[in-house]
């Protein structure tokens, strides 16, 4: 551990990181092919080593939204890991239900890194208010704290009065949990006159953190940073004290793709977060999270050199129902892929005279009546619905990650 960084991986040159991660990627894909039955099947047509981003982008997505159905066909993990027996230390149950594995691998979810960035140090006492009930959230924090050398109070959720009295008695250095629960604890402490001043730092996740709330905690001496994690992948990205975007974790490869496709978007464009985990115990490859974000240019002023993202910008699953038929982002992507001259598209759903209307807006410098008719035919072929087409200037569609924009009034 360095004085200002969790390890030297955080400050290596971007070129060095890319070379080392792509070498690990090739080993990870080969490992998944031979040990995880689902990837043996999914990757059977990919025989060459996957050791660059172009080859990675050709691999199929594994969608989080499909995990529940996949797992019911092949319990408990849909064949995405061969982890079993004494190597499998936990089976967690997240809403869905989605089953996630845990192993004895040190800092399995990579939470030590974001705890360090939030100011936690070896020997400190940490009040952990993430849930220990079924989901891995509480254990995620605990494994990271162990890697960091912190002592944990496994507080979990609820029991606000006991939370307050425990903090007042044991005086932990910081809090980890959702921002809303920290707000409740502090309010209860103020109401009861309890001394919670030992809390000097907080790492929060799972909810939106209002800037005004963060500022109010700073005024009472609590510096608060955020992280972005999922139960399947563990840590994806985290804030540093610079608070300029979220820095991508060192043991994943992150892509931002156009929703409904697996195609990477240009830097700065909003798209779906797709993650390939380099954890050999659970080798999720091109795992589509369903979350929207965008890559920020350059490196963080804190000295960490990995990619940065803007944080959570919404959900990528924009599936809607039109005239009794579901329309999916994947269908829009399938239509647009047929026409290389179209750089970007968006399907607008509206209602006129009590009738649903679909309008496919397409960015292209070479529109025309013939292309419009071909696109209309593709809409009928793929979506089984009629739709209109409008050509717009390249760069004119909003950069918000939307592939389907449902503008119908909520009834």
Asked if residue 176 is part of any domain, the answer here is yes
Confidence (pLDDT) at 250: 98
* CA pseudo-torsion sign 32, 38, 43, 47: positive
Asked if residue 314 is part of any domain, the answer here is no
Statement to judge: residues 147 and 288 lie in one domain = yes
Contact 380, 294 (CB under 8 A): no
Statement to judge: residues 200 and 339 lie in one domain = no
Residue 411 pLDDT > 60: no
Instruction: Residue 353: give the domain boundaries.
Output: 320-406
* Cα gap 24→251, rounded to integer Å: 10
Confidence of residue 2 (pLDDT cuts 50, 70, 90): low
Asked if residue 118 is part of any domain, the answer here is yes
Asked if residue 1 is part of any domain, the answer here is no
Confidence (pLDDT) at 95: 86
User: For a pLDDT cut of 90, what percent of the chain falls above it?
Assistant: 85
- With tokens 């399995």, the residue in question is 108
Going by the DSSP 8-state scheme, the letter that residue 264 receives in this structure is B
Long-range contacts of 23-30 (CB under 8 A, 24+ apart): 23/51, 24/278, 25/50, 25/51, 25/56, 25/253, 25/276, 25/278, 26/50, 26/51, 28/276, 28/277, 28/278, 28/280, 28/283, 28/285, 29/59, 29/283, 29/285
Statement to judge: residues 277 and 344 lie in one domain = no
Confidence (pLDDT) at 111: 98
Statement to judge: residues 295 and 372 lie in one domain = no
Higher model confidence: residue 167 or residue 327? 167
* Cα gap 271→346, rounded to integer Å: 13
Asked if residue 411 is part of any domain, the answer here is no
Give the H or E element holding residue 97: none
Stretch 229-247: mean pLDDT: 97
Half-sphere exposure of 395 (CA within 13 A, CB side): 1
Contact 407, 350 (CB under 8 A): yes
Statement to judge: residues 286 and 337 lie in one domain = no
Confidence (pLDDT) at 324: 77
Q: Provide the H-helix boundaries in 193-279.
A: 211-219
**Where does a domain end: 263, 289, 309?**
309
In order of 120, 359, 380, 381, 407, the CA distances from 356 in angstroms are 54, 10, 15, 18, 10
Confidence (pLDDT) at 142: 97
| Average pLDDT of the chain, as a whole number | 94
Stretch 207-216: mean pLDDT: 92
**Where does a domain end: 309, 341, 360?**
309
Statement to judge: residues 132 and 166 lie in one domain = yes
**What CATH code is carried by the domain that includes residue 270?**
3.40.50.12780
Residue 317 pLDDT > 90: no
Q: How many CB atoms are closer than 10 A to CB 97?
A: 13
* Cα gap 167→260, rounded to integer Å: 46
* Cα gap 175→172, rounded to integer Å: 8
Question: Burial, 407: exposed, middle or buried (Cβ in 10 Å; 0-12, 13-18, 19+)?
Answer: exposed
Contact 367, 388 (CB under 8 A): no
Tokens, residue 258: 């156009």
- For the segment 91-112, what is each residue's pLDDT rounded down to a tens digit? 999 988 999 999 999 999 999 9
User: For a pLDDT cut of 70, what percent of the chain falls above it?
Assistant: 99
In order of 57, 356, 364, 375, 401, the CA distances from 388 in angstroms are 31, 12, 16, 9, 21
- For the segment 338-365, what is each residue's pLDDT rounded down to a tens digit? 999 999 999 999 988 778 899 999 999 9
Statement to judge: residues 29 and 174 lie in one domain = yes
* Cα gap 29→26, rounded to integer Å: 5
- For the segment 102-148, what is each residue's pLDDT rounded down to a tens digit? 999 999 999 999 999 999 999 999 999 999 999 999 999 999 999 99
Confidence of residue 268 (pLDDT cuts 50, 70, 90): very high
Contact 349, 320 (CB under 8 A): yes
Tally the domains of the chain: 2
**Where does a domain end: 264, 290, 309?**
309
Statement to judge: residues 183 and 83 lie in one domain = yes
Statement to judge: residues 192 and 291 lie in one domain = yes
Residue 223 pLDDT > 70: yes
Stretch 188-210: mean pLDDT: 96
Confidence (pLDDT) at 410: 64
Q: How many CB atoms are closer than 10 A to CB 39?
A: 26
Stretch 383-398: mean pLDDT: 95
Statement to judge: residues 131 and 263 lie in one domain = yes
Statement to judge: residues 50 and 89 lie in one domain = yes
**What CATH code is carried by the domain that includes residue 355?**
3.30.300.30
Statement to judge: residues 294 and 332 lie in one domain = no
Question: Burial, 116: exposed, middle or buried (Cβ in 10 Å; 0-12, 13-18, 19+)?
Answer: buried
Residue 305 pLDDT > 60: yes
Residue 334 pLDDT > 90: yes
pTM value is: 0.89
């Amino acid at each position: 551990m360095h004085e200002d960084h969790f390890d030297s991986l955080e400050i290596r040159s971007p070129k060095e990181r890319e070379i080392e991660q792509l070498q690990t990627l090739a080993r990870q894909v080969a490992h998944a092919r031979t040990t995880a039955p689902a990837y043996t099947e999914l990757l059977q047509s990919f025989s060459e080593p996957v050791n660059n981003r172009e080859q990675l982008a050709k691999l199929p997505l594994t969608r989080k939204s499909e995990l529940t159905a996949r797992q019911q066909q092949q319990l408990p993990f849909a064949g995405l890991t061969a982890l079993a027996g004494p190597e499998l230390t936990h089976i967690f149950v997240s809403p869905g239900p989605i089953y996630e594995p845990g192993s004895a691998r040190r800092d399995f979810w990579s939470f030590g890194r974001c705890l360090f960035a939030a100011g936690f140090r070896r020997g400190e006492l940490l009040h952990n208010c993430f849930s220990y009930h079924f989901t891995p959230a509480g254990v995620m924090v605990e494994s990271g704290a162990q890697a960091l050398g912190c002592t944990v109070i496994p507080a979990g959720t609820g029991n606000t009065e006991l939370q307050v009295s425990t903090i007042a008695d044991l005086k932990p250095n910081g809090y980890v949990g959702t921002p809303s629960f920290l707000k409740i604890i502090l309010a209860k402490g103020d109401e009861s006159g309890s001394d919670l001043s030992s809390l000097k730092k907080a790492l929060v996740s799972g909810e939106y953190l209002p800037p005004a709330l963060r500022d109010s905690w700073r005024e009472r001496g609590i510096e608060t940073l955020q992280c972005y994690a999922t139960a399947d992948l563990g840590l994806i990205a985290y804030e540093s004290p610079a608070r300029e975007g979220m820095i991508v974790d060192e043991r994943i490869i992150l892509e931002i793709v156009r929703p409904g496709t697996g195609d990477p978007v240009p830097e700065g464009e909003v798209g779906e977060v797709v993650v390939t985990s380099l954890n050999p115990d659970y080798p999720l490859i091109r795992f589509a999270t369903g979350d929207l974000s965008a890559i920020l240019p350059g490196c963080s002023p804190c000295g960490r050199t990995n990619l940065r993202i803007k944080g959570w910008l919404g959900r990528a699953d924009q599936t809607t129902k039109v005239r009794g038929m579901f329309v999916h982002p994947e269908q829009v992507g399938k239509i647009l892929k047929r026409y290389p001259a179209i750089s970007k598209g968006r399907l607008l759903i509206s209602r006129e005279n009590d009738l649903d209307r679909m309008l496919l807006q397409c960015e292209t410098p070479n529109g025309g009546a013939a292309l419009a008719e071909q696109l209309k035919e593709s809409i009928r072929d793929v979506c089984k619905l009629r739709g209109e087409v409008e050509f717009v200037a390249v760069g004119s569609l909003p950069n918000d990650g939307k592939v389907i924009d449902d503008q119908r009034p909520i009834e």
